[in-house]
Structure 1
Amino acid sequence: MCAQGRVANCGDIVYEPQSVEGPKGLRSCSGGNSRFAQLDDPNKGWPATSVGSTVTFNWVLTARHATSTWEYFIGGSRIAVFDDGGRQPGANVSHSVNLGGRTGRQLVLAVWNIADTTNAFYSCVDLQIGGGGGGGGNPTPTPTATPPSTPRPTPTPTTAPPASGTWSAGTAYKVGDRVTYGGATYQCRQAHTAQTGWEPPNTPALWQKV
């Protein structure tokens, strides 16, 4: 929605809709990331996708991380969980979720829990259950891939990192950049601006050890 210009004033998420990553166990659209705080604002006029009592969520993955579980929440209550047992998913993942008899406008939080890190990817989808919303079809959450059909949408580079320099929070990295951290060298997999807590060993979605 934000990357497509359908919702205005979204902030950094316009540039990196695939990068809403944070610690596991959160229940916010922003994944606890202050850069994406706009995603937690219910007053931004997010369009809703009209659906029936069961909806299929389609994920398109550009980085196929080993996965523990996929979880779906409405109003803080988990309505579905899919256990991948640590396996690596395919590039396209679909889940059919029963919405439990709910009607009207509802916000679904979709969480992709990574098996080999403490992090998860977060995405929210606005639904109009039983009709009456904007758009249509099955919503697509946004992890490491293309933006979703109804969710809320990572930031524009501001500082160019030194070639093979030491990793530093606050530095903007582009794909292919190399850094050192803890005596190891890592190569950037996705453009982003580094934050404390996003050290290369902790964010395999962003860094690959070389």
Structure 2
Amino acid sequence: MRKKLATLAVSAGAVVGALAVSAPASAHGWVTDSVGDVESRSGFCAEGVVSDCGGIQYEPQSLEAPKGFPEAGPQDGSLCGIGAFPALDDQRGGAWPKNEVSGGSLGIGWNYTAAHATSKWEYYITKDGWNPDEPLTRAQLEPEPFATFDGGGQRPPFQHVHDVNLPAKQGYHMVYAVWEIADTANSFYNCIDLQFGGDDGGPGDEDPPGDGDPQPGTCDGISDWSTDATYLGGDQVAFNGELYTAKWWTRGDEPGASGQWGVWESNGPC
């Protein structure tokens, strides 16, 4: 239990009522690529791929809040961290690792530390033109889930995969996964960062610097990186004598500063 009573001077009826509302479900789980095709933010933290995550790195299965999304559930701006784990709501300037995908078939896999009777699973995706600089809100999601699976009130296996038909999108998007429990008042919520292949354009509308067709491995025709410029997936910059290619939408992320999991891929000296 994460909470303790501040005082014992309450009636037995009040205690029972409080426990009925706030007691955590006996089921826990998260989306992970150890089961399916994509990793959630909490999974990346648990694996040590992302640092400075707070307590979620030790319990990726604990993103639990009231069920009934989107009418109920976690508050806007806390959809990823559910309030208790705010590090997951920080967009980090686009530096979260992204699962490379394309529209069509995708396996979203869950790992459960305790399976529980389930009402349903639902999967939402961000709208075209959403703002990746701001914490995720309901208004940034498509109003209807692109995939729903009926749990039938049954307990799922400890590991299983949903084969979904991912909508065709471009650039950086997020999937919001909801696992609704049947016999408690709660659901579990996971945020999944995606980078769609093909045209990797992000939501920004600024013209990227460095237009032209440079020779591979050189910086001919490549502009120097600028902290104020917006770059899209595939854009190239020169920085400290090296050529870098953006993996996804970015602004203000210094090339070479975030290592192999960062937004910039080094193409060597030039």
Q: TM-score, normalised by structure 2?
A: 0.46
The whole-number CA distance in structure 1 between the counterparts of 2:48 and 2:155 is 33
Give 2:102's aligned residue: 52
- The runs of 5 or more residues in structure 1 that have no matched partner are 135-210
2:116 alignment partner AA: H
Q: 163, 166, 174: which is aligned to 1:96?
A: 163
Q: How far off its partner does 1:105 sit?
A: 1.2
User: Deviation digits for residues 11-34 of structure 1, max 9, x if unmatched?
Assistant: 11111111111111236112x3x2
The whole-number CA distance in structure 1 between the counterparts of 2:102 and 2:189 is 23
Give 1:15's aligned residue: 58
Q: How far off its partner does 1:3 sit?
A: 2.1
1:120 aligns with 2:169: no
The whole-number CA distance in structure 1 between the counterparts of 2:99 and 2:107 is 12
Give 1:194's aligned residue: none
The whole-number CA distance in structure 2 between the counterparts of 1:67 and 1:116 is 8
Give 1:35's aligned residue: 84
- Superposed, 1:127-146 pairs within 5 Å as 127-130=194-197
Is residue 118–residue 152 contact of structure 2 (8 Å, CA) maintained in 1? yes
Secondary structure of the 1:105 match is strand
Secondary structure of the 1:88 match is coil
The whole-number CA distance in structure 1 between the counterparts of 2:187 and 2:153 is 13
Give 2:116's aligned residue: 65
The whole-number CA distance in structure 2 between the counterparts of 1:130 and 1:89 is 32
The whole-number CA distance in structure 2 between the counterparts of 1:42 and 1:79 is 23
Q: How far off its partner does 1:62 sit?
A: 2.1
Give 2:151's aligned residue: 84
User: Deviation digits for residues 57-80 of structure 1, max 9, x if unmatched?
Assistant: 011222110000001011222211
User: Deviation digits for residues 71-105 of structure 1, max 9, x if unmatched?
Assistant: 10112222111011111111222111222221221
Over aligned residue pairs, what C-alpha RMSD do you find?
A: 1.9
Percentage of pairs with the same residue: 48
Is residue 61–residue 112 contact of structure 2 (8 Å, CA) maintained in 1? no
Give 2:46's aligned residue: 3
The whole-number CA distance in structure 2 between the counterparts of 1:89 and 1:5 is 27
The whole-number CA distance in structure 2 between the counterparts of 1:92 and 1:11 is 25
The whole-number CA distance in structure 2 between the counterparts of 1:109 and 1:123 is 6
Secondary structure of the 2:92 match is coil
Larger radius of gyration: 2
**Which aligned runs of 4 or more in structure 1 are off by greater than 4 angstroms?**
131-134
More helix by share: 2
The whole-number CA distance in structure 2 between the counterparts of 1:13 and 1:90 is 23
Count of matched residue pairs: 132
1:48 alignment partner AA: K
Is residue 123–residue 176 contact of structure 2 (8 Å, CA) maintained in 1? yes
User: Deviation digits for residues 93-136 of structure 1, max 9, x if unmatched?
Assistant: 211122222122111111110000110111111111226787xx
Q: How far off its partner does 1:52 sit?
A: 2.0
Give 1:173's aligned residue: none
